[in-house]
Amino acid sequence: MSAIGTLFSLLILIGIAAYLWIEWQYSQRPGNDLELSVTDWSFDSYDSAHYAISLDTVFTNRTRTLEIFIPEVKVEYELLSGSSLEGIQVKTQLTPQHEDFPARPDNYWFAYIVKVGKATKAHLKVDITGADLSGLKSLWLQVHYITYGPEGRIPKTGHLIVPLKFPKPEAATNWRENSVAHILPVPTHLLTNLDNTVEIVKHYVQPIAKPGDIVTIGETPVAIMQSRLRHPNTIRPGWLAKRLCYYFMPTSSLATACGMQTLIDVSGPWQVASAFVIGAVAKVCGKPGMFYQLAGEQARLIDDVTGTLPPFDQFIVLGPAHSQRLVDEIYQETGLKAAIVDVNDLKAVKILAATAGTDQLLLTQALIDNPAGNADEQTPVVLIRPKS
Please name which of 234, 193, 30 lies closest in space to residue 117, comparing C-alpha atoms: 30
Whole-number pLDDT of residue 212 = 92
pLDDT averaged over every residue in the chain:
90
21 assigned to some structural domain: no
* Residues 148 and 292 grouped into a single domain: no
The length of the chain is 388
Mode of pairing for the β-strands spanning 181-186 and 214-218: unpaired
Q: 201 and 158, same structural domain? A: no
Over residues 64-86, the pLDDT tens digits come to: 888 999 999 999 999 999 889 99
Residue 295 pLDDT level (bands cut at 50, 70, 90): very high
- Say if strands 152-163 and 119-129 run parallel, antiparallel, or are unpaired: unpaired
Count up the domains in the chain and report the number. 3
Tell how strand 50-61 and strand 34-47 pair up.
antiparallel
Residue 246 sits in the same domain as residue 263:
yes
Residues 140 and 204 in one domain: no
What are the start-end ranges of the H helices in the chain? 3-28, 197-200, 219-225, 239-244, 257-267, 269-284, 290-294, 298-301, 323-334, 360-367
Does 13 map to a domain?
no
State which of 163, 191, 209 marks the end of a domain: 163
pTM comes to 0.87
Residues 357 and 367: their CA atoms lie apart, in Å, by 18
Residue 296 included in any domain: yes
User: Quick one: 241 and 202 in the same domain?
Assistant: no
Q: Assess whether 39 and 155 both reside in one domain.
A: yes
pLDDT at 189 over 90: yes
370/132 Cα distance (integer angstroms): 35
Chosen domain end from 163, 194, 216: 163
Asked if 49 and 162 touch (Cβ cutoff 8 Å), the reply is: no
pLDDT digits (tens, 9 = 90+) for 108-148: 898 999 999 899 999 999 999 999 999 999 999 999 999 99
30 pLDDT band, cuts 50/70/90, is low
SS3 content of the chain, % helix, strand, coil (to 5): 30, 30, 40
Q: What CATH number is attached to the domain comprising 369?
A: 3.30.1330.100
Domain boundary among 274, 296, 317: 317
Query: Do 236 and 377 fall into the same domain?
Result: no
300 and 264 within one domain: yes
Based on the fold, state whether residues 58 and 114 are members of the same structural domain: yes
Same domain, 210 and 352: yes
Q: What is the CATH number of the domain that holds 83?
A: 2.60.40
Q: Distance (Å, rounded) from C-alpha 271 to C-alpha 263?
A: 10
pLDDT of 357 strictly over 70: yes
- How far is CA 372 from each of CA 78, 93, 186, 326, 366, rounded to the nearest angstrom? 27, 38, 8, 20, 11
Do 235 and 328 have their domain in common? Answer: no
Does the residue 14 lie in any domain?
A: no
Please report the beta strands in 48-180, taking only residues with DSSP state E, as ranges in sequence order: 50-61, 68-81, 89-97, 112-114, 119-129, 136-149, 152-163, 176-177
- Domain range for residue 356? 169-227+319-386
What's phi and psi for 72, nearest 5 deg? Answer: -145, 140
Does a structural domain hold residue 66? yes
Identify whether the C-beta of residue 266 lies closer than 8 Å to the C-beta of residue 242. Answer: no
**What's the rounded Cα separation, in Å, for the pair 285 and 345?**
30
Structural domain includes residue 149: yes
pLDDT for residue 150? 87
Domain assignment present for residue 379? The answer is yes
Do residues 175 and 242 both lie within one domain?
no
